[in-house]
Amino acid sequence: MDGAHGACRDRAGAGFRGVPRPAHPRPLPASAVPTPGGLARLAGRRARLRPGLPHLAGGLDLAASAPFYLPQIPTGFVGNLYHGVLDLWRLVPQLGRALGIAGLVLLLVPARRIPCGMARRWRGRLLAVAALLMLGVCLVVNQGLKEQVGRPRPQQVKPFGGPYDYVPVGSLSQACARNCSFVSGHAATGFVIAGFGLWGVRRTRRRWWAAGALLCLALGAARVAQGGHFASDVVFSLLVMTGVAMALRAAVVHLRGLRRRIGRRHRARPRGLWGLASGCGLPRRPMIPLS
């Protein structure tokens, strides 16, 4: 009996149903408690770090454009000496316009009028490409960022013989009035081929995104060699167009789900006179056939 009572007392002292009681937390040492002076020093370090990030990005921008700058040639940048680079510069906007027009024409053709399933799938892919061109390239990039940020191009800044100061990425400027540097329109146009896989499964989307990203970076590198864009313009062009593609897919998926829910409710709702009769407790169809 004494052993049993002792075990019960031990169990009660350990806690309910054998769960040990929480130990009292140990106080923190004095060195671990933040003092007002330490907090002030930490805030000062962060304040010194924040303005250093744009300068770091600016150094990378200038370092990426400097190998292509030659003051001895009239164009200033070596990319303008190669006919292939100049042909790409002229051809990419025209291809973008052609894809946009083809998507608008296909939009006028209903999917049920297309007999072939493969043609219907490619119609949806071209519509996705056209949507990326209209929303991403025309609206967000050209009208939203290039016309509002006002960042001068590399060939317009003082380190490369231009009249304006260098403007770091993320800063607003009045140096450029229209068709400015941030972000790259050619790189954004190259990314729109990712729209061919926008409605596919995850693996298909990743493959087409990789293809669009490679073409975006390749066209952006050609524009950097021409002195038309900084490297940060190309990187942010890829990020902006990726965000537009994700938002477009999310909106279409949401609208499709909403359409399915409305269709189910519409099919479940009784129609016509016999639907009204069934709602009143009468049989759905007449028991005696109508003559």
Say whether pTM exceeds 0.85.
no
Q: Does any domain span residue 205?
A: yes
How far apart CA 227 and CA 144 sit, in angstroms, is 22
How far apart CA 66 and CA 260 sit, in angstroms, is 55
Q: Does any domain span residue 281?
A: no
**Dihedral of alpha carbons 198, 204, 206, 212, sign:** negative
List, for residues 210-264, the tens digit of each pLDDT value: 999 999 999 999 999 999 999 999 999 999 999 999 999 999 999 988 888 887 7
- Amino acid letter, residue 79: G
Mean pLDDT of 76-96: 92
List, for residues 141-155, the tens digit of each pLDDT value: 999 999 999 999 999
Share of the chain above pLDDT 90, in %: 48
Q: Does any domain span residue 37?
A: no
List, for residues 2-32, the tens digit of each pLDDT value: 444 454 444 444 444 444 554 555 554 554 4
Q: Does any domain span residue 190?
A: yes
Tokens (6 digits) for 245: 């593609």
Q: Does any domain span residue 126?
A: yes
Q: Does any domain span residue 165?
A: yes
Q: Does any domain span residue 1?
A: no
Q: Range of 146's domain?
A: 86-261
Q: What are the DSSP calls for the chain, one per residue?
A: -HHHHHHHHHHHHH-GGGPPPPPPPPPPPTTTSPPHHHHHHHHHHHHHHTTHHHHHHHHHHHHHHGGGB-TTSTTSBGGGG-HHHHHHHHHHHHHHHHHHHHHHHHHTS-GGG---HHHHHHHHHHHHHHHIIIIIIIIIIIIIIITTS-PPPGGGBGGGT-SB----TT---SS--SS-SSS-HHHHHHHGGGGGGTTS-HHHHHHHHHHHHHHHHHHHHHHHHHTS--HHHHHHHHHHHHHHHHHHHHHHHHHHHHHHHHHHHHHHS--HHHHHHHHTTS-SS-SS---
> Total structural domains in the chain?
1
Q: Does any domain span residue 192?
A: yes
